[in-house]
Amino acid sequence: MCHSKTTLTVKTVIITGANTGIGKETALDLAKRGARVILACRNVQKAELAKGEIIKTSGNDNVIVRELDLASLASVRTFATGILESESRLDILINNAGVAGQAEKQLTEDGLEYRMQSNYFGHFLLTNLLLGLLKKTAPSRVINVSSLVHNLANDLNFANLNSETSYSPSNTYQTSKLCQILFARHLAELVISSGVTVNSLHPGLVKTDVFRYPSFRNFIIRKFLLPFSKSAEEGAQTTVYLAVDDEVANVTGKYFSNCKVCEPSKAAKDDGLAKKLWEVSEILVKFKPEERQY
């Protein structure tokens, strides 16, 4: 559990996928601390319901909803433009949204594999577009919600990063979570002197609807593992810890679990792999060199 009593008055936080599960519990905790909380969600109707519940429980009415579909690069850019126009500061960016199911391969309007874009590529572009505001507001924090299953992705096959040659729901999910850690690791190095810290985490196996899509793997998880897993509130604790605790104010490029630094997989610590992934990702999300803020 995160026991920090830090308040976030005058601080601004963005949380993707904050209308349910870990994201919603994170938003509630940070709202209780007085933050201005922006719920960045694809389903605006569900997000508005979550907003009402968060305001009622926290007593903080400085909670707003902004539409963000990570499976659309155009939506990511529209969201980022809106934030840059409306917000004078950004203290904490929490890349929380994730998709774990989908038995069938699906490409987005951008030609990217749906799960990879929702979990990784969309967040990669979003963070880069908001990096200037994060640096302006420094000290600030970027937090990527990854997963222990990244350990099952032993390497990155750049020829199959978007399931060009083969597709497996579980392999794609594992790869997306490895990418989130590598992304955080490389960005931390790029902004090492800026006052922006970048870390990733494993929240634990949590009772959320991330495993809602029909697949054999998700059926097994729902049937045999979720009954013994963490609640969404418990699963949010490491995210909250990285967002508020003074102990990690100057910690960057690390991977956490249960509010402690832990060792990620060998592949997740490969700086060469992280650099190559970054370069490939810039091309795939059409991020232009002149847009760089690092």
How does pLDDT run across 168-212, given as a tens digit for each residue? 999 999 999 999 999 999 999 999 999 999 999 999 876 555 555
CB of 213 closer than 8 Å to CB of 103: yes
| Given 114, 120, 167, 173, the catalytic residue | 173
Nearest to 143 by CA among 75, 103, 100, 196: 196
pTM over 0.85: yes
Q: Exposed, middle or buried, 180 (CB in 10 Å: 0-12/13-18/19+)?
A: buried
Which residue ranges form the domains of the chain, and what is each CATH number? 12-289 (3.40.50.720)
Give the model confidence (pLDDT) of 150-159 as tens digits: 999 978 999 9
Residue 167 known to be catalytic: no
Q: List the Cα angle 133/134/136 in 5-degree steps.
A: 60
Give the model confidence (pLDDT) of 258-267 as tens digits: 999 999 999 9
CB atoms within 10 A of CB 71: 24
